[in-house]
Structure 1
Amino acid sequence: MDEPTSPGPLTGVRVVELAGIGPGPFAAMLLADLGADVVRVDRPGGTALGIDPANDITNRNKRSVVVDLKSTAGPGLVIELARRADILIEGYRPGVAERLGVGPDECLAANPRLVYGRMTGWGQHGPLAHSAGHDIGYLATAGTLGMIGPTDGPPYVPANLLGDYAGGSLYLVVGALAALHHARATGTGQVVDAAIVDGAAHLGAMIWGMLGAGAWQDRRGTNLLDGGCPYYGVYQTSDGGYMAVGALERPFYAEFTALLGLGEDAPDRDDPSRWDELRERVAARFKSRTRQEWTEVFEGRDACVAPVLTLREAARHPHLAARGTFTADTEGRTQPAPAPRFSATPGSLRRPPAAPGADTDEVARDWDVPALNSGCPRP
């Protein structure tokens, strides 16, 4: 690891994570990165992620026990962990945790101060609550996907970052920490219903304000921030690379056009009827050089232009290297470092991804749950 370990701002907070895939594990990882003691309750046979658990970065900084929730003893073991926890995170479809005997009623009865965090796509109620779904469908329903892409083509798919992790994980973490603050002030826990469709819709608050003010058209590829504007978009270079342009403010736009060599006869940026013409001029200029050549022109200048990097290229970027935005664990796996930054209690990489069931003895001792030693399957 590239930096000394630190206890982190959430030191002393205990979290139980009922194993799943996607936004739940990422939310638990974020809490673990910030110092929480996260115990992941894996299921026999593992989850459906399909990669070696040793490479599942979302399981870093956690410990793992394996519990068969369909066994006679399984639910009781989880309840005993919940009794000692501050937060529990589960990502089942609505009703599944209840059927398994580890729903909020059982857990809050054992620990009235518990924050019970529920991560789903559609939420705990509503006509679609029990329907299957994935990130792309939640974004589509929230109106978010329809904003991304060209006006004359299909929407672009933003991996699963915008729904699962931005609209899901981050909202679950905010909700869990807010509820934890309340629980510590009042002694009363509660259920946090974090739905990806809610979070994805909430992320659009500024856009909804612009729409209501008449400053946003309800169709993609026609607005200031969705690629419709020629000085906020992506352009191909002569070698097939791309440059990202965000020269919105006038001083930055002036620097951009000067460095690009656009010429004084360029179409007026304030005339949307000439945006297509302006875009063609900008595109032609970018096509005249390679991505590296344009990077050298714009880097460090107030033109708001940057090369579009791949994941591996991003990890090597000098600015990100200087900040330690990416780091490596003891096995040499490159990965994003904990974020955000804290001046007094920084997060750190303390443990590699947890192998299912590998930490049963430690957790049984540290959490004082002796039954784990006899009730949990061993790896």
Structure 2
Amino acid sequence: MSRTAVPNANSTAAEGKGAPVSRATGPLGGLRVVEMAGLAPGPFAAMMLADMGATVLRVDRPDPAPRAMAQRFYFTDRNRRSIAVDLKSTGGVALVKRLVAGADALIEGFRPGVMERLGLGPEPCLALNPKLVYGRMTGWGQEGPMAMAPGHDINYIALSGALEAIGEADGPPVVPLNLVGDFGGGGMYLAFGMACALIEAARSGKGQVVDAAMVDGAASLMTYFFGHRAGGAWPGRGRSVTGGGSPFYAVYETRDGKYISIGSAEPKFYAELLRQMGLENAGLPDRADTANWPAIRAQLADVFRTRTRDEWCAQLETSETCFAPVLSMEEAAAHPHNRARGTFVEVDGMVQPAPAPRFSRTPAALPAAGVEPGIDLHAALAGWGLERTEIDGLAAAGVVS
């Protein structure tokens, strides 16, 4: 299945009218999700569900905190409508409960106890809707000695063992982008957990709470490496084949100051790499001996610096060497392979990653741009069964804005 980048895929959102009421396209078409607005991992999980066709309604605050960019640039807020609700009012809590009663799932990312204090914890919500999948996104989890402590991605991956394993052998741990905790170990695991619970609820008729903690998810991502440690095959930070130690699984600078990646881990790919570089008869030392790795790396680096990145691409990109250029975000969107697959799409003139993964029979629709908090009041609530006069009454009472 292929896609191509389509400009202005959602002109409706660009005009300020919000996202579609229903996104029936995709494998999750027909599911209804209430999202309590939050940061990073929660919105990412909601984006994943919405990308796959779920109708997600974001419940924002009436006075959201200032953000670093305009709303349209928060791509993880795509594909859903927004209402602004005063959760400190009894009417606001009652409105969310009404939405929950007609939903399949709820996402919240507050500290433990906040939803309970609002009267919207799992117990009252599941009493209203026994099939509800109640997704909770936190850093440390719902219990444990650090459950109430503040934290960020760097702290969660530090406690999981992931951060200590990333970096150069003789240097400190290197802080990666917040992919490991927030998005990989957080939002992705919440979305996966909710999908699992939704399948089970369809069978049993009973909902449940999904406790997704970033420290748990980051630890789960480390399963492969914990296995190596248990088997005595973990050499330490910066010393493993895929962790920066080996010369045949590394990044090299080219003549024009750009970079390429080499993943010639298997002997056959490494042999072809040397042949392509003209080093098959250069007498390089045995790569099986890790003591030889620095010398091999130095020789490969010297050769790679003799050509530009594009010249190496022309020679190696489709070779049996496991090669790819190191691209910027702009370059990645323009690369012929990504363009052929539609890996990136254009929405309202802005390039962003397309929904993933792909489905042969129920493909995801093109994304719809994110909307300003509260902009969809009438259209959104009408889509959840409220009459216009009722919505007007809630607005007049200050419950919604």
Instruction: Give the TM-score, by structure 2 length.
Output: 0.90
Q: Does 2:96 align with 1:78?
A: yes
Q: How many residues align?
A: 377
* Contact 2:62 2:374 (C-alpha < 8 Å) held by counterparts: no
Question: 1:315 aligns to what?
Answer: 333
**Which of 290, 302, 307 matches 1:272?**
290
Q: Does 2:143 align with 1:139?
A: no
Question: 2:321 aligns to what?
Answer: 303
Q: How does 1:179-258 map to 2 (within 5 A)?
A: 179-217=197-235, 219-258=236-275
**Match of 1:73, SS?**
helix
* Contact 1:230 1:276 (C-alpha < 8 Å) held by counterparts: yes
In the alignment, the residues of structure 2 paired with residue 333 and residue 373 of structure 1 have an alpha-carbon distance, to the nearest angstrom, of 35
In the alignment, the residues of structure 1 paired with residue 345 and residue 24 of structure 2 have an alpha-carbon distance, to the nearest angstrom, of 15
* Contact 1:113 1:183 (C-alpha < 8 Å) held by counterparts: yes
Per-residue Cα deviation, 1:315-365 (whole angstroms, up to 9, x for no partner)? 001000000000011x11111011000001111225221221122212222
Give the CA deviation at 1:99.
1.1
* Contact 1:43 1:68 (C-alpha < 8 Å) held by counterparts: yes
Question: 1:374 aligns to what?
Answer: 393
| Identity level (%) | 51
**Match of 2:243, SS?**
coil
Per-residue Cα deviation, 1:225-255 (whole angstroms, up to 9, x for no partner)? 1011111111111222111111011111111
Question: 1:2 aligns to what?
Answer: 6
Give the CA deviation at 1:211.
1.4
Give the CA deviation at 1:296.
1.6
**Which of 274, 278, 288 matches 2:306?**
288
Question: 1:102 aligns to what?
Answer: 120
In the alignment, the residues of structure 1 paired with residue 245 and residue 367 of structure 2 have an alpha-carbon distance, to the nearest angstrom, of 44
In the alignment, the residues of structure 2 paired with residue 10 and residue 47 of structure 1 have an alpha-carbon distance, to the nearest angstrom, of 31
CA RMSD of aligned residues (A): 1.7
In the alignment, the residues of structure 2 paired with residue 372 and residue 161 of structure 1 have an alpha-carbon distance, to the nearest angstrom, of 39
Partner amino acid for 1:118? R
* Contact 2:355 2:367 (C-alpha < 8 Å) held by counterparts: no
Task: Point out the more displaced range, 92-101 or 314-323.
Answer: 92-101
Structure 1, unmatched stretches of 5+, are none
In the alignment, the residues of structure 2 paired with residue 372 and residue 322 of structure 1 have an alpha-carbon distance, to the nearest angstrom, of 46
Q: Does 2:174 align with 1:156?
A: yes
Partner amino acid for 1:24? G
Question: 1:11 aligns to what?
Answer: 29
CA spacing shift, 1:350–1:200, aligned 2, 3 Å: closer
CA spacing shift, 1:293–1:350, aligned 2, 3 Å: closer
Give the CA deviation at 1:101.
1.6
Give the CA deviation at 1:31.
0.4
* Contact 1:60 1:349 (C-alpha < 8 Å) held by counterparts: no
In the alignment, the residues of structure 1 paired with residue 147 and residue 392 of structure 2 have an alpha-carbon distance, to the nearest angstrom, of 37
Give the CA deviation at 1:49.
4.0
* Contact 1:235 1:242 (C-alpha < 8 Å) held by counterparts: yes
In the alignment, the residues of structure 2 paired with residue 266 and residue 350 of structure 1 have an alpha-carbon distance, to the nearest angstrom, of 50
Task: Point out the more displaced range, 232-241 or 30-39.
Answer: 232-241
CA spacing shift, 1:293–1:27, aligned 2, 3 Å: same
Per-residue Cα deviation, 1:161-180 (whole angstroms, up to 9, x for no partner)? 11111001111011101111
Give the CA deviation at 1:48.
5.2
**Match of 1:117, SS?**
strand
Q: How does 1:38-117 map to 2 (within 5 A)?
A: 38-47=56-65, 49-117=67-135
Q: Does 2:126 align with 1:122?
A: no
Per-residue Cα deviation, 1:142-195 (whole angstroms, up to 9, x for no partner)? 010111110111222221111111001111011101111111111111100000
Instruction: Give the TM-score, by structure 1 length.
Output: 0.95
Question: 2:18 aligns to what?
Answer: none
Per-residue Cα deviation, 1:190-240 (whole angstroms, up to 9, x for no partner)? 1000000000000111111111111212x2111111011111111111222
In the alignment, the residues of structure 2 paired with residue 46 and residue 19 of structure 1 have an alpha-carbon distance, to the nearest angstrom, of 9
Which protein, 1 or 2, shows the higher relative CO under an 8 Å CA cutoff with sep ≥ 6? 2
Per-residue Cα deviation, 1:19-63 (whole angstroms, up to 9, x for no partner)? 011000010011001000000001112245422112211111101
